Chain A
Amino acid sequence: MSVTHEPFDTFAALHAVGALDGDDLRMFEAHLATGCARCATIVRQTEQALARAAMAGPPEPPPSDVRERLVKRAAAATAPGRRRWIPLTVGIVAAAIAAGAFSAAYVAARYEARLGQMAREASAAKERLARTEADLREELALLRDPTTRMVELRGEAAAPGAVARVLWADGAGGLLLATRLPPPPPGKVYALWTLDGNAPRPAGVFVPDDGGRATLKVAAEATGAPLRVLSVTVEPEGGAAAPTGAIALAPR
């Protein structure tokens, strides 16, 4: 790398440490999008050097409960059914093959059963698709509605990195879209609360997916008009009549 192509050599190094901003950042991102291999290499090497340097110090044992929680969570995530599915399928296929060796009629019956099962699965998939399409149409209608308002929520103590938005049209209901939510503690869910006069009113509970994302449909009657969002809190699975747990999200 003897030929310089400033300012991009500098931009690439600064970008790797997250220090680039403003016009420099825009200029660099546009340049990088052209596929500049030299800049990509500088960014990668700088990130690598920072990582090596960061890990060069003496190790520090982390709190022991962190490992315990992670191992438990990983076990819970892999336990249900998923791992047994493949051997089970293999078993069914093997059984079908063995049966075929004895009786063509039995094989035909297996196929019929399998076809019947596939038809049921296809019909269930169709139903799911129809529901998803209906949901998406509803969400699109909400976005198109000129009366739709948006309330932004910011992560609080129970979910500091989280952000969320509530899209709301009076009379039609709304949608909560959240991201970067940590999974709730075992036995807990997130609950959305609105304000009815001065009293909190439950507007639904939800659990984020593995990526920390969540979508919750909010019924029109979940709040008086106009919408007033109080908070999202961590509550027991069965729900609660009024907020009792730590606040995860609150309006900005």
Chain B
Amino acid sequence: MSNGADLIHQMAEGDAEAFARFYDRYAPLIYPLILRILPDPADAGECLQDVFWESRQRARTYDAARATPDAWLVTRARARAIERMRSTRRRRESAPLGAARAASAALLERPPSVERSVLMRAFERLPDPQREALELAYYGGLTQTEITARLKQPLGTVKTRLRLALDRLREMVKPA
């Protein structure tokens, strides 16, 4: 079975089968992350499609020395999902009540398994304050200043929590 980097290189050559295999291999792993950021399945599906299409179009620029296939794809998936979430949020802020209701309904209808599936064990093992800051940054797309305002904590505290959380995470998921 080809590894992720091989599939990306084949995809760059326009190999349609490699693209399909790349999708089959990674889509079920990436989709929970997108769904965590974009709870509406229709939105998440569209975002997933954009992510894979963009990956196909950018496959030529993939550099195995700079990123693993996982990191290459996850970084893009998260960025696109957060962009979409921000844009939806902006629209919702100026949208009539009906749209806001629809959005809250979508949140309520989110399958319970999703929360559990993406809140992976590594995040769960972090102390609560660190996990909270990291989730706001990673899933919420908030910056240190925005997290400071949200948690009503000093900026220095937020930076330290994030730094500790990320250091621990690096240790926990170190490749064997």
B residues touching A (Cβ–Cβ < 8 Å)? 14, 16, 19-20, 23-24, 27-33, 35, 41, 44-46, 48-50, 52-53, 56-57, 66-68, 70-71, 73-75, 78-80, 82-84, 87-88, 90-91, 113-114, 116-123, 134, 137-138, 141-147, 159-160, 162-163, 166-167, 169-170, 172-175
Contact = CB atoms under 8 A, between A and B. Distances in A.
B68 A70 contact: no
Interface in A24-77: 24, 44-63, 65-67, 69-71, 73-75
Contacts of B91: 156-157, 160
A17 B48 contact: no
Which 10 pairs from chain A and chain B are nearest by CB?
A: A59-B28, A51-B74, A21-B143, A160-B87, A51-B71, A62-B31, A51-B70, A19-B137, A57-B117, A13-B166
B83 A161 contact: yes
Q: Interface SS of chain A: helix, strand, loop or mixed?
A: helix
A22 B143 CA distance: 9
Interface string A211-241: 1000000000000000000000000000000
Pick from B16, B117, B141, B173 the residue with the most CB of A within 10 Å. B173
Q: Interface SS of chain B: helix, strand, loop or mixed?
A: helix
Contacts of B16: 71, 74-75, 78
Contacts of A5: none
A21 B162 CA distance: 14
B74 A55 contact: yes
A58 B65 CA distance: 28
B67 A44 contact: yes
Contacts of A20: 143-144
6 contacts: A50-B138, A53-B123, A55-B30, A55-B33, A60-B117, A71-B20
